[in-house]
Amino acid sequence: MKDVKSQASKSAVPGKQGGLNAEIQSRIGHQLRAMYDDVVRQGVPDRFADLIRKLDASEANSQLGATGETKNDGRD
Amino acid sequence: MPLTDSLRDDILASVPSLRAFAISLSGNGDRADDLVQETLLRALANIDSFQPGSNLPAWLFTILRNLFRSDYRKRRREVEDADGSYAKTLKTQPAQNAHLEFEEFRAALEKLPQDQREALILVGASGFSYEDAAAICGCAVGTIKSRVNRARSKLSALLYVDGADDFGPDETVRAVIGGSGG
């Protein structure tokens, strides 16, 4: 575990030699999540909800013989 | 496992993070949403191979990653986007609250090798464990750890260390401290 030592001594000199001090680490984590969550917050676009619904319906239709349910057929 | 209502809901609930992952991978909203669409189609077509009780997001992320790495380009037009509106949403939304810094971060992320970028995103943003990330990427846990470490070092070098030479250490340290609060 030499790495741990050498990293620790590097991080004592912030901004030099690629040392990853705690502040920079947390800053990177922060920005990474901000970027990611920006998209996550957009939720589920209609496109995908529609897609699943349609596929779901066609799945249901293909199983109609077995279940006998015709709820979605020809309506909605 | 058959597609139950709850499984379908769980798949839908994974869509936002699948999109975030896809955008991080491809760096492009159009490609990303095609990729997500393709992932959903694949997932539903192969839903029988999903093990009940196993990690659904990890399963979906694995499909998305494999698609991104293989032939999704060829297949991306299989289902056309009717009005293209989702793509516009994607492009304008992030820009509204984008700071220069945010753009810089994005650009730096793009510079990482693919392996490192996906490992960092899976662990650092998607919140997967190292074990899940390793399963998604089909590699050893140690490999994921080292990719994440290298990704962080590289980002740090791209974003902060080079900057330190330009602006001097005081500026950098102040920026870092100022930005990490809250």
Do B175 and B126 share a domain, yes or no? Answer: yes
Cα separation, B14 vs B24, whole angstroms: 15
Does residue A52 fall inside a structural domain? yes
Cα separation, A45 vs B28, whole angstroms: 16
- Residue A49 structural domain: 18-62
Cα separation, A46 vs B147, whole angstroms: 35
Domain count, chain B: 2
Do B144 and B69 share a domain, yes or no? Answer: no
- B168 SS3 class: coil
Buried b / exposed e across B96-105, counting CB within 10 Å, b at 16+? eeeeeebeeb
CB atoms within 10 A of CB A35: 20
Task: Give tens-digit pLDDT for B95-105.
Answer: 444 567 778 88
Position B160 scores a pLDDT of 80
Task: Give tens-digit pLDDT for A10-61.
Answer: 444 444 444 468 888 888 999 999 999 999 999 999 999 898 888 777 766 6
Best A27, A46, A54, A72 member to test B by mutation, with max B CBs in 10 Å, is A27
**Domain end: B49, B65, B94, which one?**
B94
Of B43, B33, B45, give the one whose Cα is nearest residue B80. B33
Q: Which of residues 115-154 of B touch A (CB under 8 A)?
A: 120-121, 124-126, 152-153
Position B59 scores a pLDDT of 97
Do B83 and B140 share a domain, yes or no? Answer: no
**Domain end: B43, B67, B94, which one?**
B94
